[in-house]
Structure 1
């Protein structure tokens, strides 16, 4: 397990990251979630990350309270990612220790974190990536 203390994001992250734009509709996003089996997409425009949109953000559109009117389903599905995305998001660099990533994931209850180096998206690190690293390091003992 001591080896895990030295592991960094760049050794385990997914480098080929699918992104979305602010103009993607909830209908398109739902299709992407179903097809890709991802939980998070970085929202990118002109090579800049504007935020992230998660399955939780998508589902939150359908959570109604007494203070929130119930819109028609089609109206909700035609909403844009820009309306529901999380603009203030947690990200890490490729040199971030996996121990820090694990801490962030547990503390903030998030499934994946964008990896940004020099203001560019270079990957994404997921819970599954961290679990793979833990398993690999446990085998080294």
Structure 2
């Protein structure tokens, strides 16, 4: 299975980005509006300048109560793990586990084309297991 297969199965292929100069308040609004846990930080909508998650915001609240007035660039992670859409899903699972990341931008030719979350990966894996179970059940109950 390839990463693009998982992306194609998602209900929406939209990649929501936010500029590095946007406020964290704007970030929180976008996260809520699109019901996602992270956004790609991109100045042009095609490159990956960073990634920022709701966890990044929550972790900063303790140290900085005015975090909502900060810029996204102050919170974002700049060392972003990315993947290509034609890469094997098993490789992405390894990267997500090894580096403890939950969201990975997908690039094609160096340009942002998608984002895949750990939830997308788990949903796909459950679907595969259910299919295998159904196939085995069908085989065992053939007359």
Normalised to the residue count of structure 2, the TM-score between the two structures is 0.80
| 1:33 corresponds to | 31
* Secondary structure at 1:99 match in 2: helix
Please report how far the alpha carbon of residue 63 of structure 1 lies from its aligned counterpart in structure 2 after TM superposition.
Answer: 2.9
Of 79, 86, 100 in structure 2, the residue corresponding to residue 88 of structure 1 is 79
Q: What RMSD over aligned residues (CA atoms) do the two structures have, in Å?
A: 1.6
Tell which has more relative contact order, 1 or 2 (C-alpha 8 A, sep 6+): 1
Per the alignment, residue 22 of structure 2 pairs with 24
Whole-Å separation in 1 of the counterparts to 2:40 and 2:2: 21
User: How do 1:1-141 and structure 2 match up within 5 A?
Assistant: 7-13=1-7, 14=10, 15-46=13-44, 47-64=46-63, 71=64, 73=65, 75-141=66-132
Q: Which ranges of structure 1 fall in alignment gaps of 5 or more residues?
A: 1-6, 65-70
Q: Are the equivalent residues in 1 in contact too, given 2:20–2:71 (CA < 8 A)?
A: yes
SS at match of 1:49: coil
Rounded Cα–Cα distance in structure 2 between residues aligned with 1:60 and 1:96: 32
Larger Rg: 2
- Displacement of 1:106: 1.8
1:78-114 deviations in Å (ceiling 9; x for gaps)? 1000111111110100011111111122222222210
CA apart distance, 1:121: 0.4
| In structure 1, C-alpha distance between the alignment counterparts of 2:14 and 2:33, rounded to whole Å | 16
Aligned length: 127
| Counterpart secondary structure, 2:33 | helix
Q: CA deviation at 1:33?
A: 2.1
Higher helix share: 2
Runs of 5+ consecutive residues of structure 2 not aligned to the other structure: 133-143
Q: Equivalent residue for 1:68?
A: none
